[in-house]
Amino acid sequence: MSKEPLRVAVLSALQAELSRQTSAALDAREESISEESRAENKYDTHAQEAAYLAEGQARLASELAVALAAWRALVFPPAGHSVAQLGSLVTLAVGSRTDHILLGPNNGGLTFSLPPTPDTAPDAAPGTAPLEITVVTPASPLGRSLLGRAVGDSLPPARKGGPTSGVSALA
């Protein structure tokens, strides 16, 4: 399976977020140094608050740039790999539903859609809805429990009394 569509989807989402954060940081910086933000009395902290906001948004933009570099450098596992590892697309059967998890280096929680292919959804009929894929990192409890699992392996329930899940496919 070519994992390039996965990489492209993640990079596209991260690049869009980087553009938003960079723009927001520049706007907040402009606001913090504008004449209109000049303090009118000692209790007027508008400019200082805008400067803090600009700093935080610039930090987020910097973190996104690092994330983009990590995703560009990620070496996906070869086709036919037998255990889940960084870069694996894992299909989980959770009760009656199916979840598609991409084990990634960062940006856990990022969700994106891709059309099903014979590699990602071999049983999908033509015209099937796009796959919803969620990025999970090894730092998360789910990511830790997926690493090293093979097709057919079960995972413990996420919460007491919750449904068990099992690895139904690796790509």
Domain ranges of the chain: 4-73, 89-170
In contact, 106 and 119? CB cutoff 8 Å: no
Q: How far apart are CA 16 and CA 3, in angstroms?
A: 20
What is the pLDDT at residue 136? 97
**Residue 130 in tokens:** 């796009």
CA angle in degrees (0–180, nearest 5) for 64-68-73: 145
Q: What pTM was estimated for this model as a whole? A: 0.81
**Residue 14 in tokens:** 């991260």
Predicted confidence pLDDT, tens digits, the chain (171 residues): 678 899 999 999 999 999 998 888 888 788 777 777 666 777 667 777 888 888 888 899 999 999 999 999 999 999 888 999 999 999 999 888 899 999 999 999 999 998 877 666 656 666 778 889 999 999 999 999 999 999 999 988 777 877 788 898 898
**Residue 133 in tokens:** 């894929």
